[in-house]
Amino acid sequence: MSEEHAHIVPYKTFAIVWIALLFLTGTTIAVAQYDLGALNIWVALGIATLKSGLVVAIFMHMKYESILFKLALFATLAILATFIGLTLCDVLYR
Amino acid sequence: MSGHVHKDYTGAKFGMWLFLFTEVLLFGGLFILYAVYLARYPQEFISAGGELNVWFGGANTMVLLTSSLFVAISITALQRGSKTLCLRLLGGTVACAAIFMINKYFEWSAKISHGIYPGSEHLKELQPGEMVFFNIYYLTTGLHGLHVVIGALLLVWAMFLIKSDKVNADDFVILENAGLYWHLVDLIWIFVFPLYYLILH
C-alpha cells in the first residue's frame, strides 16, 4: 500500500510559507499606494508570481512530486505564456 | 487473496493536475481579456478599478491564504493519524469559504445598489472602457466564486469520507486532490486581487 508517496511536510514549513504569503500580500498593497507608472503592474505581477510559486511548490507539494509533474506544469505555463505573448504582440504592435 | 484494490496514487494525482492545468488555461483566457482591454482603455480601467474596495479584496485574500494553510496542514495531520485535527482544519477551511462568499455578497450588493452590474442602465452611460472593466470583473470574480463553492463542497465530501475512515492515513488521495482544487482557488485569487483591486490605484 504505502508507496513512496508518503512525504510528510511538517506543520512548521506550512506556517512559514503562510507568514511569507501574508507578508507579500502586505507588500503588494503597500507598493500599490505609490504611483510608479508602468512599473506598478510589473511589481504586482512579480509578487503574485512569487506567491503562486510558494503555493504550488509547498502547499500543493509540487516540490516533492516527480519530474513528470514538473514537466507538465512547465508545459502548461509555456502554453499560457505563448498565448499571452502572441496575443499581446498582436494587440500592442498592430 | 481477493479484496486487494489496485490504487494508482500517482495516476490519480496526475489526473487532478491535468484538470487543474485546463483550469489555469480557462482563467488564463480571462486574464488575456483583461490585459488586452487594459492596453486599450488604460484611463477607464484606472477610474473603474478605483471603485473597487481594497479592503474587501485584501480581507478575502487573507481569508483564502489562511484557508489554504488549513488544507495543507490537514493533510499532514491525517498522515500523522490525527483525524480530529484534520477534520477541524477542514471545517475551518469550509468556514473560510463561507466568510469569503459572505464578503463577496456584501461587495457585489454594494456595487449592484450603485447600479453597477452587467447590462444595467448606469453601466451603459459609463465610458465603454469602464463598462468592459466591470463586465470582466463580474465574469472573473463570478467564475472564481463558483470555484470557491465547488471547492468547499469537495472538502465537505472529503470530510464525510474521513469521518467514515474511507479516507485515512494510508489512502488519502481524495483529500489531496480536493485540497489541490482548493489551492487552485487560492492561486487564481492571488492574481485577481492585484490585477483588479490594486494596479489601478
pLDDT (tens digit per residue) in B119-147: 888 888 888 889 999 999 999 999 999 99
Which CA distances in Å does B32 have to A11, A32, A86, B25, B66?
37, 21, 10, 10, 28
In a domain, B1, yes or no: no
The count of domains in chain B is 1
Identify the pLDDT of residue B127. Answer: 86
Domain that holds residue B194: 33-198
pLDDT (tens digit per residue) in A42-92: 999 999 999 999 999 999 999 999 999 999 999 999 999 999 999 999 988
Asked if A51 lies within 8 A of B68 by C-beta distance, the reply is: no
Residue B168's φ and ψ, nearest 5 degrees, are -145, -175
The CA radius of gyration of chain B, in Å to the nearest whole number, is 20
Residues 64-83 of B with CB under 8 A from A: 65-66, 68-69, 71-73, 75-76, 79-80
Residue stretches of chain B with pLDDT short of 50: 1
pLDDT (tens digit per residue) in A5-54: 568 999 999 999 999 999 999 999 999 988 888 888 899 999 999 999 99
Nearest to B194 among A11, A44, A66 (CB): A44
**Other C-beta atoms within 10 Å of B65: how many?**
24
Residue B87's φ and ψ, nearest 5 degrees, are -65, -40
The helix/strand count (H/E) of chain A reads as 3, 0
CATH of the domain at B40: 1.20.120.80
For the record, the C-alpha cell of B175 comes out as 483529500
Identify the pLDDT of residue B187. Answer: 97
In a domain, B94, yes or no: yes
Residues in chain A: 94
Nearest CA in chain A to B22: A76
With beta carbons less than 8 A apart as the criterion, state whether B152 and B98 touch.
Answer: yes
* Residues of chain A found within 8 Å of residue B24, distances taken between Cβ atoms: 76, 80
Chain A interface test: which of B4, B168, B198, B200 (most A C-beta within 10 Å): B198
Residue B3's φ and ψ, nearest 5 degrees, are 95, -10
Residues in chain B: 201
Among B184, B149, B176, B201, residue whose Cα is nearest residue B79: B176
Identify the pLDDT of residue A1. Answer: 41
In a domain, B146, yes or no: yes
Identify the pLDDT of residue B201. Answer: 54
Identify the pLDDT of residue B173. Answer: 94
Identify the pLDDT of residue A43. Answer: 92
Identify the pLDDT of residue B24. Answer: 96
Identify the pLDDT of residue B162. Answer: 97
Nearest CA in chain A to B66: A18
**Chain centroid offset of residue B165 CA:** 28
pLDDT (tens digit per residue) in B89-112: 999 999 999 999 999 999 999 999
